[in-house]
Amino acid sequence: MQKKHWSKFELLHEVVTNPNIHVKGQHSYYSDCWDNGFEQSVVRYLHGDEVSRQWEPRWEIDELYIGDYVCIGAEVVILMGGNHTHRVDWFCLYPFMDVIEDAYIGKGDTHIEDGVWLGMRAMVMPGVTIGEGAVVAANSVVTKDVAPYSIVGGSPAKVVKYRFDESVIDELISFKIYEWPEEKFEALRKHLCNSDFSKLKQAITDYDNCL
């Protein structure tokens, strides 16, 4: 067996087998050095793993959607499974099997959009959406939706700052960068890996005019 090292990672599209995990593209990765990998260690309580896929679901399954170019740091946890059958509005929240279906409340699908970076040991709670280009600081707990191109941190995670001005963020979203064909992305990558927005806009215009 190959020894793990912090420089190694796994590409999600190569390792995901759970039919309730939907991975876009071929670039999203997980730094799996210190655990058993994305499906076994990161994604928790999601029906469809190698054990639970043999079970008949007792309720509608909340699903996990992961965009392209997503960077997932070591020991991140993506918590699924709704309320885990613990009803905090009941006097006793213990999950008794004879009322287990009444005890379950779904939280909806979880979406981690394109270009997101989840820092080491961050936890994503069920049913949230983390917007395009957002950054979640290490050890943070995400309990609600995260705006595109924001940086959040803490427990619960709150906005620390935005990566760019609002007008720039609006334009970045309108460019639909992560929907581009691979050829266009590669042709413009040197401008994407830069902070000169005017040059990026001009490069996009020049590329599109050459088509």
CA separation for the pair 122, 3 (Å, rounded):
25
Confidence of residue 57 (pLDDT cuts 50, 70, 90): confident
Question: What kind of fold does domain 10-179 have according to CATH?
Answer: UDP N-Acetylglucosamine Acyltransferase; domain 1 (2.160.10)
Residue (of 118, 112, 128) closest to 153 by Cα position: 118
CA separation for the pair 105, 119 (Å, rounded):
28
pLDDT in tens, 166-185: 999 999 999 999 999 999 99
Residues labelled as active-site residues: 86
Q: Say if residues 127 and 143 touch (Cβ distance below 8 Å).
A: no
Q: pTM for the full model?
A: 0.92
- Per 3-state DSSP, what percentage of the chain is helix, strand, and coil (rounded to 5)? 25, 20, 55
φ, ψ dihedrals at 30, nearest 5°: -130, 135
